C-alpha cells in the first residue's frame, strides 16, 4: 500500500489550500462540519460523521442562477458560474456516494443541470474512511462501506503511524502529485473488534408500491413536525425552489438575484398551488413521498436508490422517525 | 423542442406587447420575444405546452401557453392574480420587460386525434391551455370530426375568452355550450356544473376524444361523467398543473408519484393517470 505520515499529509493539504478551495471537516462551535479551511491546522483528522452532508458544495443551499439588471425597460441578464476549483477533503464515503446519486439526476438526465455540472467538474473528492460505523449509520445496507473507495477520487485510511493512500481515479492520481508517499507491505483494514451494525433489508421498488395506501404511513407520519431537517441533512435530497431577490434599487437601476434554494417535500405547502389546492395536504402523505422518492421513484426514474445510509435523518429527527424502521416495516408487510 | 439549450434556467428576454382583462382577476398577457434565439425556440411550440414567465424582481411561474404559433409570433398567457409572481405580472404595462422560459413539457397529440370528433371541456381558467387546441382545429377544420366545446366558470365574470364565443359557435361542424355554477343576475344562459351540462349535451362517444382542463376537482368529476356517458379512459386527455420551479425534471416540486408533471406531462391520457401510484386530486 501507499503510505504517508500525518505531517506529509498536512504539508500536502497546505499546498492544496493555496491552489484550491479546500473544504474539510472542521470544528465549528462544537459542531463537526465540512467547511472551507485556510490551512491543515484547521482540519479535524479524528471526527465522526459531520453533522451536515457535503452536498452544499455541489448543490449550494443558496445559489445565484442569474443576475438581472433592470434599467427602466431594459434588462440585462448575467449568468454567473464562479470558476473555482475545490477539493473536498476528509469526505466520508457515504457523502461521496451521495454525489453519485445526485449525478444520476443532475448529470445523466437530459438536460444536465449546468450549475451542478460546473461544480462537479471542478471538484476532487478525497475521502477518509470511517474507522467504525456511528450511531444511526447503515451504509453497509445501502451498498456502501465505511472504507468504500467507489465514489471517491482518493481514499485515505488511518493506519499505524499515518495514512494508507489509495488513488481511485485519474483525477485523484493527479491531485496526489506532490504528496510524499512510501510503499509499505502492511494492508489497511478494520480491527477484529470493529463493530458493524446489522444490515437492514432494502425492499425493492415493487415491494413499496402495494403499500402506498397502507396505514403504516399514518403511524410514521402523524408525529412528523414538518420541520424538514431530514431533507436538509440528507446527502441526496435535492429539491429546490427558485425565486428572485431584489439586492439593490437606486437611480433607476434594480439589481436582482435569481436564486435557487434547497426545498423540502416534507414542508406543508410543497404541492400547494396558487388557487389553494394541495394534493398532498397531510403529514403522512408528505412523509410517504420522501420515503417513496428514495426507495421507489428515484431508482425507477434515475437508477440509484435515493439513500446512502448515512443515518443523519435518524439522529436529527426531533421525533425519532427512523428510516430503517420504515424499511423494516415495508419489508415485513410486503412479505419479505 | 425544448427551452434554452445553452442554459435551460435562463429565460429569453421579451416585452409585454399587449395586456387585456380576460375575466375578473385574470389578464391575458401578450409577449413578444426580443432575442433571436428565443424567437427561434418558440417558433413551433405545440398546443398544451407550457412556459415560465418571469416578472423580474418577483420570480417566475409556469403557465400553459394560450396561443398557437400559426396565428402569429406573439405568445399569450392567461394569468390569474393569486400569488406573488402573478400579482406582480398584473402590475406590468405594455412595453415592460419580461422573460420566458420554454416551451416545456409534452403536448396534445393533435396529429393522432385527426379524423376524430373532439370534445373540449374547459372549466374556469383551465380553458386557457385548451384555446390552442380550439384554434388548431378551427384553422384546420377539415382535419377533425365534430367539435363540441363545453365551457364553464363559477360566475359570468370568470368566463375566459368570451370575445371568441361567437367565432367558436359559428364555426362549421362545431357546437359551443357554456354554463356557470350558480344563478346570477347578469346571466340568462345555462346554470349548473360543467358535469351537468356535459350530461345534457351528451356528445356521442363512439369516435371521439375528450380534452379536459380545470381545477383538479372538475377534472375528477368530468372524468366520472364521461365514463357514465360511455367514454373510456383512453379516449380522455387532460392537462394537469402543479407548482414548479424548473420545468425540466430536476427540482422535484411537481412529482405525482414517480411521474413529473413537467416532463412526463402536463398532458396525460386518463388511462395513464389511472396507473399512477399517486393521484392529482
| pLDDT (tens digit per residue) in A32-71 | 999 999 999 999 999 999 999 999 999 999 999 999 999 9
Report the residue from A106, A109, A241 with minimal CB separation from B245: A241
Report the residue from A105, A209, A243 with minimal CB separation from B277: A209
Question: What is the pLDDT at residue B162?
Answer: 97
- Whether residue B281 lies within 8 A of chain A, CB to CB, comes out as yes
Whole-angstrom distance, CA of residue A21 vs CA of residue A41: 15
Query: What is the mean pLDDT of the segment spanning A257-283?
Result: 94
Query: What is the mean pLDDT of the segment spanning A185-207?
Result: 82
Q: Are A188 and A164 in contact (CB under 8 A)?
A: yes
Identify the helix (H) or strand (E) that includes residue B195: helix B194-201
Query: Nearest residue on chain B to A241, judged by CA atoms?
Result: B245
Which residues 59-118 of A have a C-beta within 8 angstroms of B? 65-66, 68, 70, 73-75, 77, 79, 105-106, 109, 111, 113-115
Q: How far is A279 from chain B (nearest CA, A)?
A: 5
Between chains, do A66 and B10 touch, taking CB under 8 Å as contact? yes
Find cell 400553459 and name the residue.
B64
Whole-angstrom distance, CA of residue B236 vs CA of residue A250: 53
pLDDT-derived band at A186 (thresholds 50, 70, 90) equals: confident
Between chains, do A263 and B278 touch, taking CB under 8 Å as contact? no
Q: How far is B57 from chain A (nearest CA, A)?
A: 5
Contacts of B82 in chain A (CB under 8 A): 274-275
Nearest Cα to Cα of residue B18 among B85, B135, B103, B98: B98
- Which of A247, A249, A275 has the highest number of chain B CBs within 10 A, making it the mutation to test binding with B? A275
- Whether residue B270 lies within 8 A of chain A, CB to CB, comes out as no
Query: Nearest residue on chain A to B79, judged by CA atoms?
Result: A274
Question: What is the pLDDT at residue A187?
Answer: 80
Contacts of A106 in chain B (CB under 8 A): 250
pLDDT-derived band at A185 (thresholds 50, 70, 90) equals: confident
- Whether residue A206 lies within 8 A of chain B, CB to CB, comes out as no
Between chains, do A111 and B5 touch, taking CB under 8 Å as contact? yes
Q: How far is A83 from chain B (nearest CA, A)?
A: 17
Instruction: Show Cβ contacts of residue B6 under 8 Å, excluding neighbours closer than 6 positions.
Output: none
Residue A39 three-state SS: coil
* Domains (range + CATH), chain B: 12-104 (2.40.30.10), 117-239 (3.40.50.80)
Q: A78 burial class (0-12, 13-18, 19+ CB within 10 angstroms)? A: exposed
Beta bridge partners of A332: none
In this structure, of A121-135, A193-207, A223-237, B250-264, the range with the lowest mean pLDDT score is A193-207
Query: Nearest residue on chain B to A298, judged by CA atoms?
Result: B258
Between chains, do B280 and A279 touch, taking CB under 8 Å as contact? yes
- Describe chain B by its helix, strand, coil percentages, rounded to 5: 30, 30, 40
Q: What does R_g of chain B's alpha carbons equal in angstroms?
A: 18
Report the residue from A239, A244, A277 with minimal CB separation from B253: A239
Report the residue from A73, A115, A289 with minimal CB separation from B97: A73
Identify the helix (H) or strand (E) that includes residue B262: helix B261-264
Average pLDDT, chain A: 95
Q: Which three cell numbers stand for residue B209?
A: 376524444
Kindly tell me if the per-residue pLDDT of A335 is higher than 60: yes
Report the residue from B13, B253, B258 with minimal CB separation from A75: B13
User: pLDDT per residue over A202-214, tens digit each?
Assistant: 999 999 999 999 9
Q: A55 burial class (0-12, 13-18, 19+ CB within 10 angstroms)? A: buried
Q: Are B103 and B57 in contact (CB under 8 A)?
A: no
Report the residue from A106, A212, A244 with minimal CB separation from B59: A244
Mean pLDDT by 10 residues, chain B (281 residues): 75 97 98 94 94 97 97 97 96 97 97 98 97 98 98 97 97 98 94 98 97 97 98 98 95 96 98 94 90
Beta bridge partners of B210: B119, B236
* Measured CA distances, A105 to A40, A88, A101, A238, A264 (Å): 34, 21, 7, 9, 17
Nearest Cα to Cα of residue A152 among A139, A166, A163: A166
- How does DSSP assign A83-127, residue by residue? ---EEEEEE-HHHHHHHHHHHHHHTTSSSP-HHHHHHHHTEEEEE
Whole-angstrom distance, CA of residue A241 vs CA of residue B32: 27
Q: What does R_g of chain A's alpha carbons equal in angstroms?
A: 22
Query: Nearest residue on chain A to B261, judged by CA atoms?
Result: A271
Q: How far is A73 from chain B (nearest CA, A)?
A: 6
Beta bridge partners of B237: B211, B269
Which residues 127-186 of B have a C-beta within 8 angstroms of A? none
- Whether residue B97 lies within 8 A of chain A, CB to CB, comes out as yes
Which residues 4-23 of B have a C-beta within 8 angstroms of A? 5, 7-11, 13, 15
- The number of C-beta contacts closer than 8 angstroms across A and B is 122
Please report which residue ranges of chain A form alpha helices under DSSP H: 6-19, 93-106, 114-121, 170-176, 205-208, 216-221, 229-233, 283-292, 298-302, 312-316, 323-333
Query: What is the mean pLDDT of the segment spanning A256-260?
Result: 97
Residue A323 three-state SS: helix
- Whether residue B92 lies within 8 A of chain A, CB to CB, comes out as no
Instruction: Show Cβ contacts of residue B227 under 8 Å, excluding neighbours closer than 6 positions.
Output: B233
Q: B187 burial class (0-12, 13-18, 19+ CB within 10 angstroms)? A: middle
Between chains, do A277 and B216 touch, taking CB under 8 Å as contact? yes
Report the residue from A68, A258, A271 with minimal CB separation from B243: A271
Question: What is the pLDDT at residue A225?
Answer: 96
Query: What is the mean pLDDT of the segment spanning A15-40?
Result: 97
Kindly tell me if the per-residue pLDDT of A336 is higher than 70: no
- ipTM confidence score: 0.93
Amino acid at each position: 500500500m501507499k503510505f504517508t505520515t500525518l505531517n506529509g499529509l498536512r504539508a500536502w493539504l497546505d499546498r492544496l489550500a493555496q491552489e484550491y478551495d479546500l473544504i474539510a471537516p472542521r470544528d465549528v462551535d462544537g459542531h463537526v462540519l465540512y467547511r472551507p479551511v485556510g490551512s491543515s491546522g484547521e482540519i479535524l483528522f479524528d471526527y465522526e460523521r459531520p453533522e451536515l452532508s457535503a452536498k452544499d458544495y455541489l448543490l449550494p443551499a443558496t445559489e445565484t442562477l442569474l443576475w438581472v439588471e433592470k434599467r427602466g425597460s431594459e434588462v440585462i441578464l448575467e449568468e454567473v458560474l464562479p470558476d473555482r476549483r475545490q477539493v473536498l477533503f476528509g469526505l466520508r464515503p457515504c457523502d461521496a456516494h451521495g454525489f453519485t446519486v445526485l449525478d444520476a439526476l443532475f448529470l445523466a438526465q437530459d438536460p444536465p443541470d449546468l450549475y451542478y455540472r460546473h461544480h462537479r467538474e471542478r471538484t476532487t473528492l478525497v475521502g477518509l474512511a470511517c474507522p467504525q460505523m456511528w450511531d444511526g449509520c447503515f451504509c453497509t445496507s445501502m451498498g456502501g462501506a465505511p472504507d468504500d473507495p467507489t465514489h471517491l477520487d482518493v481514499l485515505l485510511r488511518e493506519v499505524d503511524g499515518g495514512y494508507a493512500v489509495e488513488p481511485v481515479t485519474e483525477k485523484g492520481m493527479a491531485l496526489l502529485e506532490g504528496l510524499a508517499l512510501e510503499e509499505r507491505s502492511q494492508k489497511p483494514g478494520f480491527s477484529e473488534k470493529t463493530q458493524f451494525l446489522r444490515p437492514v433489508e432494502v425492499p425493492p421498488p415493487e415491494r413499496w408500491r402495494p403499500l402506498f395506501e397502507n396505514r403504516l404511513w399514518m403511524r410514521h407520519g402523524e408525529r412528523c413536525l414538518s420541520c424538514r431537517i431530514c431533507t436538509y441533512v440528507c446527502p441526496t435530497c435535492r429539491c429546490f425552489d427558485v425565486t428572485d431577490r431584489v439586492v439593490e434599487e437606486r437611480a433607476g437601476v434594480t439589481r436582482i438575484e435569481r436564486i435557487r434554494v434547497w426545498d423540502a417535500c416534507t414542508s406543508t405547502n410543497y404541492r400547494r398551488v396558487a388557487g389553494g389546492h394541495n394534493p398532498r395536504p397531510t403529514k403522512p402523505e408528505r412523509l410517504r413521498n420522501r420515503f417513496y422518492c428514495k426507495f421507489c421513484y428515484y431508482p425507477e426514474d434515475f437508477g440509484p436508490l435515493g439513500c446512502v445510509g448515512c443515518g443523519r435523518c435518524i439522529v436529527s429527527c426531533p421525533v425519532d422517525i427512523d428510516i430503517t424502521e420504515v424499511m423494516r416495516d415495508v419489508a415485513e408487510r410486503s412479505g419479505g | 423542442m425544448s427551452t434554452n439549450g445553452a442554459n435551460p434556467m435562463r429565460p429569453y428576454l421579451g416585452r409585454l406587447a399587449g395586456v387585456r382583462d380576460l375575466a375578473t382577476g385574470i389578464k391575458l398577457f401578450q409577449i413578444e420575444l426580443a432575442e433571436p434565439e428565443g424567437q427561434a425556440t418558440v417558433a413551433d411550440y405545440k398546443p398544451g405546452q407550457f412556459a415560465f414567465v418571469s416578472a423580474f424582481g418577483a420570480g417566475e411561474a409556469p403557465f400553459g401557453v394560450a396561443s398557437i404559433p400559426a396565428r402569429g409570433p406573439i405568445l399569450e398567457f392567461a394569468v390569474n392574480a393569486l400569488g406573488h409572481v402573478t400579482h406582480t405580472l398584473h402590475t406590468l404595462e405594455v412595453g415592460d420587460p419580461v422573460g420566458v422560459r420554454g416551451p416545456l413539457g409534452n403536448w396534445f397529440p393533435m396529429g393522432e386525434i385527426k379524423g376524430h370528433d373532439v370534445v373540449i371541456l374547459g372549466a374556469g381558467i383551465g380553458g386557457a391551455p385548451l384555446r390552442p387546441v380550439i384554434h388548431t382545429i378551427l384553422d384546420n377544420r377539415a382535419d377533425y370530426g365534430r367539435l363540441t366545446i363545453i365551457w364553464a366558470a363559477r360566475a359570468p365574470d370568470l368566463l375566459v375568452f368570451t370575445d371568441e364565443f361567437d367565432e367558436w359557435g359559428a364555426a362549421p361542424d362545431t357546437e359551443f355550450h357554456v354554463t356557470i355554477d350558480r344563478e346570477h343576475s347578469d346571466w340568462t344562459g345555462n346554470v349548473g356544473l360543467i358535469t351537468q351540462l356535459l350530461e345534457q349535451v351528451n356528445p356521442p362517444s363512439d369516435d371521439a376524444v375528450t380534452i379536459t382542463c380545470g381545477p383538479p376537482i372538475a377534472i375528477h368529476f368530468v372524468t366520472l361523467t364521461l365514463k357514465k356517458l360511455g367514454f373510456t379512459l383512453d379516449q380522455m386527455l387532460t392537462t394537469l398543473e402543479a407548482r414548479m420551479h424548473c420545468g425540466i425534471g430536476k427540482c422535484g416540486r411537481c412529482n405525482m408519484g414517480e411521474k413529473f408533471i413537467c416532463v412526463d406531462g402536463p398532458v396525460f391520457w386518463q388511462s395513464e393517470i389511472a396507473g399512477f401510484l399517486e393521484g392529482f386530486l
